[in-house]
Structure 1
Amino acid sequence: MNRQALVGAFVVGGIGLAVGAFVLFGNFHPFTRMEKAVLIFHGASSGLSVGAPVTFRGVQVGAVDKVVIEYNPETKDAYIPVYVTMRPDNITLTSNSAHHLPTIRDLVSQGLRGEMNLKSFVTGSSEIDLDFAPEVPAVLHPAIATMTEIPTKQSSIQAMSQTLQNLPLKELGDNANASLAAVRELSDRLDRDLPVLIESIRSTSDHSRDMVDASRDLITHLQPQLEQTLKSLNRLADAGSEQLNARGKDLHQLLENSNVMIQRADQSLSNIQSMTSPRSSERANLEASLRDLASAASALRGFANDVERNPQLLLTGRRP
């Protein structure tokens, strides 16, 4: 009887340990509230397997239960539904107790989105990352999803892969080949023309050096003459300054005399202007004298005409 009790206790203890290990290390939590959800991806899901973690900003909040393929023969398109189990009990509220814990559907309406990211570069395993991204439109698939669906968004790695796939690699390769051909042609041309150019530069440098040496010799030769010329100019300037200082009084007197002469010239012009005025008596006398001269000239002209017709008038004179 004692042996049977001992065996029974051992069996019960083993069953208890097995259940505890399964609950502790497995994904089975009988006393934890869980919610099921599905994420539907349209691209490749390499590295994602059952048991992969579902995280929210690095904190694990669930695990992947199943990964299947939904194929549409009409559109020949395939989707990857990923079924996950969430444990909302990991979420606590920071406000008062009047609010209730949000459901997955509430979180989706607030902008919860999921993306597939690489978990380890060594093993190539992937995981599901959740975060709020209300700016990303919620694309749902009611024809495929049989439970609450969490909208997905493109991960940074997928975006990078899509960008690399969309790169015009052939055009880039052609451009690279053309660039290499141009560089090769330029290199060949430099190999052909560069020695001639270097020789020309060397010759030009030699000529320039000769010119510099000749200029230096010329400057050295002309420097004493330039210094002598500068000294002569200084002496000339000093002599000019002395002459100006010595003749300053004479120049002042000459300017005063010039002013007096200008004043007299102005007075003479004023007198001439008064004489030529229409109301001036001198002008009237001058005009009378001019009229008398004109009458005398007219009489002389008549006498000359008479003499020309009759020269004897010079001897006999005019008869009354």
Structure 2
Amino acid sequence: MSARGQATVGAFVLGGLLLALGAVIFFGKFNIFNPAIRAVIVFQDSIAGLSVGSPVTFRGVPIGSVESIAIQFDPRNNIALIPVIVRIEPERAKIERPSGTAGLDLPELIKRGLRAELNVQSFVTGQSQIDLDFDPGSEPVLHPDISTLPEIPTRQSTIQKAKEQLSQLPLRELADDATKTLASLRTLSEKLDKDLPPLVASLKTTSDQSVQMVQAATQAIKDLQARMDTTLAAVSRLSASTDTQMNQRGAELRTLLATTNQAMTQARDLLGEVRRATASRAPDRTNLDAALRDIAAAAASLRGFAGDIERNPQLLLTGRRP
């Protein structure tokens, strides 16, 4: 083979290697100029559902994945720790600063309260994921002897908190109370089954009697209303007749009142004349006194004559003898 052919073959092989390397870098997501940030997250509880390649998110936004999972036993405390190494893609998470956009400073973010928690990714498949968020109020628990990588402290997830609260519930006491309650309800149901039929029958009888009383009261009210209508009609007719008679007798009443007024005037005048006639200094008073004396003397004579006649009735025939 000539030198020119060898050069052609060498160029072809070199071009193939370059293409292969570019494909590996492109499709393998290698980032030579901006390498991924690696960190460790140490869990103490079960991480069921979490596997290599599981997503790492920040408030639901994927920013990385799980690189490896291991388990390490601490004989001093008899605690099994599960260090999980994660890769965070820097191009997916950036920090805005006044001077411009900067890369991630993981230790600084951890000081500001960056925490990791394990959450269920899908209840159907049972897969889990790691969620990152800021929680400055939680106290960080670090394990410096686990790894040389920056450690993101963990916090309890909502599901873990619910499990812990459920584990603290007095389930046995609640079950006993529920059993007692069901027994009481069963006893009450049996008692109601025994007592309710007579009570229902009594209520039905009372209801029927109440209906009859209401019907009787309704009929009585109707009869009373009819009588009231008749009475009101009669009162209306009487009122109309009274108005007519009053209108007819009005002139007669006025005449009668005028006559009565005249009679009262005459009686008043007569009483005045009698009062003047019987006055002590009136001229007719002397004549009246003399007449009264004569009448008294005549009455005395008559009484004496009547006494004589009673003693001697013959005086009516013979008269008194001189």
Normalising to structure 1: TM-score of the pair? 0.62
- 1:287-306 pair list within 5 angstroms: none
Q: Is the 8 A contact 2:96 2:102 kept in 1?
A: no
Segments of 5+ residues of structure 2 without an aligned counterpart are 251-322
1:80 aligns with 2:100: no
Call closer, same or farther: CA 1:111–1:173 in 2, change over 3 Å.
same
- 1:1-320 pair list within 5 angstroms: 1=1, 19-26=21-28, 28-97=30-99, 100-227=102-229
Q: Is the 8 A contact 1:88 1:103 kept in 2?
A: no
Segments of 5+ residues of structure 1 without an aligned counterpart are 247-320
Call closer, same or farther: CA 1:196–1:108 in 2, change over 3 Å.
same
Call closer, same or farther: CA 1:88–1:205 in 2, change over 3 Å.
same
Q: Percent identity?
A: 46
Call closer, same or farther: CA 1:77–1:226 in 2, change over 3 Å.
same
Which range moves more in the overlay, 116-125 or 40-49?
Answer: 116-125
1:188 & 1:116 partners in 2: Cα distance? 51
Q: Alpha-carbon deviation of 1:74?
A: 3.2
Q: Is the 8 A contact 2:95 2:104 kept in 1?
A: no
Q: Alpha-carbon deviation of 1:150?
A: 0.8
Which range moves more in the overlay, 2-11 or 17-26?
Answer: 2-11
Call closer, same or farther: CA 1:9–1:99 in 2, change over 3 Å.
closer
Call closer, same or farther: CA 1:117–1:224 in 2, change over 3 Å.
closer
Q: Is the 8 A contact 2:51 2:66 kept in 1?
A: yes
Q: Alpha-carbon deviation of 1:11?
A: 6.5
In the alignment, residue 175 of structure 2 is paired with which amino acid? G
In the alignment, residue 85 of structure 1 is paired with which amino acid? R
Number of residue-to-residue matches in the alignment = 245
Q: Alpha-carbon deviation of 1:226?
A: 4.3
1:115 & 1:204 partners in 2: Cα distance? 68
Q: Is the 8 A contact 1:38 1:83 kept in 2?
A: yes
Normalising to structure 2: TM-score of the pair? 0.61
Call closer, same or farther: CA 1:14–1:97 in 2, change over 3 Å.
same
Which range moves more in the overlay, 209-218 or 6-15?
Answer: 6-15
1:220 & 1:61 partners in 2: Cα distance? 88
> Hey, what does 1:301 align to over in structure 2?
none
